[in-house]
Amino acid sequence: SEFDLLHPALQHHIVNSLGWSTMRPTQLAAIEPIHTGRHCLLLAPTAGGKTEAAFLPVLSRMLTEGWTGASVLYVCPIKALLNNLEARLTHYAGLVGRRVEVWHGDVSATRKRKVLQDPPDVLLTTPESLEGMLISPRVEREAWFGQLRCVIADELHAFAAGDRGWHLRSVITRIDRYASSPLQRIGLSATVANPVELLDWFAPTGPREVVGSSSVSTDADVTIDHVSTLENAAIVISRLHRGEKRLVFCDSRASAEKLGAGLRELGVCTFVSHASLSVAERRHAEAAFAEERDCVIVATSTLELGIDVGDLDRVIQIDAPGMVSSFLQRMGRSGRRSGTRRSCLFLATGETALLGAGAICRLWSRGWVEKACPPVQPWNVLAQQALLMVLERGEVTLIELLTQLVASFPELDAAGVRTCIDHLLAQADLACPEPGLLQIGPKAQAAHERSHYRDLLV
């Protein structure tokens, strides 16, 4: 069976230390293609076990093939998701004597120095933090990236929906230059309508395979109600489902704060989470919510991407998200306990929101979900990458830069890539100290050197 392909030590710990009697279908189906080194896109609904489906076979390869040094990059779109995954992945890796570390903007300089001096087997990070490592003079890139074998991109659909997806893919291609062989690319995604296209974009070359189903499950309890105002929404939430743990999504910080205040006035134990809160405040709210029973957490999309806030009874949506995929992600936070179903209650505060909720539910009931489509013609990302590639090397020949950019952006016209470089030269963002050689120009230096080029990373 697929389970027998895993390293014996890992098999032992899955059965005896984790106490699993079986693995989920997607987890079993992912073992063989990951073991053989194929690029993969793993599809499963929220809480479908995608993390384990990718990480456990990669750990097995690590043991079987004797990987050493920094071997795996695990990339997430938000720092909170990295922090949330750290304990779980550290536990899995620790069972077989391997280490996991986190690297992002909130990690202390002391901890980062330790990571540089003693690289872990697995690094949890963001694309921007990887970019910072590539251009940092403190990182010995050949030594640090030279033993990498695999990159796992969590929530790949979220990356692909914007420019960060192009940035992530370019950074992976640049790291490939330092690795002894091209990195195996494994993407994790919620349900999307175009999984094959998404994987072809993420891993343009090499054998690849989609694992899991792209069909949309319509097995859920969904209700739409019109409440007119946020004040009325607070009253409904305070009176319905008492004794349960409820997660309420709002699509703006102001709405989240207002609803949270209204619920507290009505005597409901309430926590609020959004990106504008400090890291400490968000972690406190999420930790407290995970330990409570009869309570509500009001959040923006910050809690949409798989962050574990404990065992939920109910998901409530104020008004309507803009996409079916967001609705599926949010509703998927519920129904995780055995014998329970996914559920979502829409509370619309206006007629437009009511129509939006109805439209979302009608599309979902037909099994429809959006495609994950990267923005076309990412010339802005290419220009950013041109500057950062030159900064990474200090000086680079024009031919080398052209070659690297075309490798990172094969969808773009090579003549257009050359035109972009010529424009950066004309604007003095790049300079040509001698024929055929490029370095950072005076304009880019004046604009970004004071921040150590950190503002170029976003």
User: Over pLDDT 90: what percentage of the chain?
Assistant: 77
Q: Exposed e or buried b for every residue in 121-154, given b needs 16+ CB within 10 A?
A: bbbbbbbbbbbbbbbeeeeebeebbebbbbbbbb
Over the Cα atoms of the chain, what is R_g?
23
Q: 338-347, 436-445, 447-456: which has the highest mean pLDDT?
A: 436-445
pLDDT tens digits for 32-49? 999 999 999 999 877 778
Confidence label for 124 from pLDDT (cuts 50, 70 and 90): very high
Please give the Cα distance from 144 to 442 (Å, whole number): 30
Answer yes or no: is pLDDT of 267 > 70: yes
Give the mean pLDDT of 84-91. 93
Q: Could you write out the DSSP letters of every residue in 143-189?
A: HHHTT--EEEETTHHHHHTSHHHHHHHHHHHHHHTTSSSPPEEEEEE
pLDDT (tens digit, 9 = 90+) per residue, 340-378?
788 999 999 999 999 999 999 999 999 999 999 999 999
Q: Is the pLDDT reported for residue 291 higher than 80?
A: no
Q: Per the structure block, which two tokens stand in for 194?
A: 């175009």
Spell out the residues 6+ positions from residue 110 whose beta carbon is closer than 8 angstroms to its own. none
Q: Across residues 86-106, what is the average pLDDT?
A: 95
Residue 445 to residues 57, 96, 320, 433, 435, Cα–Cα distance (Å): 44, 47, 45, 15, 21
pTM for the complete prediction? 0.92
pLDDT of 11 > 90? The answer is yes
